[in-house]
Amino acid sequence: MKSVFSLFDENFFTNIKWGDNVERVESSKASRYLYAVLIYYLLWIVLTYPFSLQEWEAGALIAFLGALLSYKQLSVSGIKNIKRIGILIFWYLPVFTWEMIKANIHVASIVLNPKMPIKPGIVKIKTNLKSPVARVWLANSITLTPGTLSLDIEDDYLYIHWITVKAKDVKGATHEIAGKFERILEAMFK
Amino acid sequence: MLDAILGWLGVVLVSIGVFFLFLGALGIFRLPDLFNRLQAGTKSTTLGVVATTLGVGLLAKGWLPFSVAIAIFLLMTNPISSHSVARASYRAGVKLYPGTDPDECAERHLEIHEEGEDE
């Protein structure tokens, strides 16, 4: 079951060829199983929203059985993902929300301006992140931040379409585009 | 009292969402080439739809968990789809806006075509 919940986890990209410079770390089976139980139970509770005790009992049973069948497909990092979700909610999400609002105001300012002040270009940035999932998160974050859209990825380099180019060299562009998120994602996928 | 406040918050969120969705549509209409249009489309639809769903969740009682789930799903899938559209159209050779200044991707694009590597 490769669902949205695997997006924290290296397991999401098992059938893609990556270079030599990416890392995948596998946790113990017990922790993977426990993580699957927790996620399934939480999902059950949310989906059967008007809460009742009977639903919760049935949900616990189904979560334990379902996890037994599918924990190997759900995650590789196991219980470590909980820490990631914590960082995601309390550190990443505020930064990300602010960036997204800024991005929308930026788009608005371009679209509503009669002169359309655009100066597009495709720049190259370098990332230090080793884990494949961290790279996906970085690419997605870049897409939703002001004026940038991730086009392609090759080894350590991402190609970014930028609507108003501020720095043309790799270093400047990396600092300008990826700087904020790279620190958070490094802590998240350590 | 709390209900009224939440209701008004919902109305505000829905109006913000609708406003940004309108701006996104305007951007798709006005901007010159595919990549710029994609930028406007992705950003404004993401914030617009997320704000609208959350607002509806606040307005309609008992729907908040579902609307939060929908919002999370949209946040995770929207950039992926726009990325894949952009990548595919760059590789298919969609023309860039003439003023596009550094085009670092061009060399790589040529390499791919010479090797005949096709995914």
Residue A30 is given by DSSP the state: H
Query: In degrees rounded to 5, what are phi and psi of residue A124?
Result: -120, 130
- The average pLDDT across A25-37 equals 83
- The average pLDDT across B83-90 equals 87
**Per mean pLDDT, which of A33-37, A182-186, B15-19 is the most reliable?**
B15-19
CA distance A52 to B33: 53
Residues on chain B touching A4 (C-beta within 8 angstroms): 72-73, 76
Q: Is the confidence at residue B18, as pLDDT, over 90?
A: yes
With cut-offs at 50, 70 and 90, classify the pLDDT of residue B119. very low
CB A162 within 8 A of CB A177: yes
Indicate the residue of B83, B87, B100 with minimum beta-carbon distance to A120: B100
CB A20 within 8 A of CB A128: no
CB pairs under 8 A between A and B: 125
- The average pLDDT across A79-101 equals 86
Residues on chain B touching A150 (C-beta within 8 angstroms): 79, 83, 86
Compute the Cα dihedral for B13, B18, B20, B24 and give only its sign.
positive
- The average pLDDT across A117-125 equals 84
CA distance B116 to A159: 20
pLDDT on residue A77 = 77
pLDDT on residue A9 = 63
What is the nearest CA distance from B59 to chain A, expressed in angstroms? 17
Residues on chain A touching B70 (C-beta within 8 angstroms): none
pLDDT digits (tens, 9 = 90+) for A58-83: 889 999 998 888 887 777 777 888 88
Residues A140, B86: C-beta atoms closer than 8 Å: no
What's the N-to-C CA distance of chain A in angstroms?
Answer: 24
Residues A107, B38: C-beta atoms closer than 8 Å: no
Query: Considering only CA atoms, which of A86, A101, A35, A102 is closest in space to residue A63?
Result: A35
- The three state secondary structure string of chain B is CHHHHHHHHHHHHHHHHHHHHHHHHHHHHHCCCHHHHHHHHHHHHHHHHHHHHHHHHHHCCCCHHHHHHHHHHHHHHHHHHHHHHHHHHHHCCCCCCCCCCCECHHHHHHHHHHHCCCC
Q: Given CB atoms, is B110 within the 8 Å cutoff of chain A?
A: no
pTM, entire model: 0.78
The residues spanned by each domain of chain B are 2-115
- The average pLDDT across B20-36 equals 88
pLDDT on residue A1 = 43
Residues B36, A124: C-beta atoms closer than 8 Å: no
Q: Is the confidence at residue B25, as pLDDT, over 70?
A: yes
Q: Which amino acid appears at position A183 of this protein? A: R
Among A13, A110, A122, A169, pick the best mutation site for testing chain B contact (most B Cβ within 10 A).
A122
- The average pLDDT across B66-74 equals 86
Indicate the residue of A7, A107, A161 with minimum beta-carbon distance to B35: A161
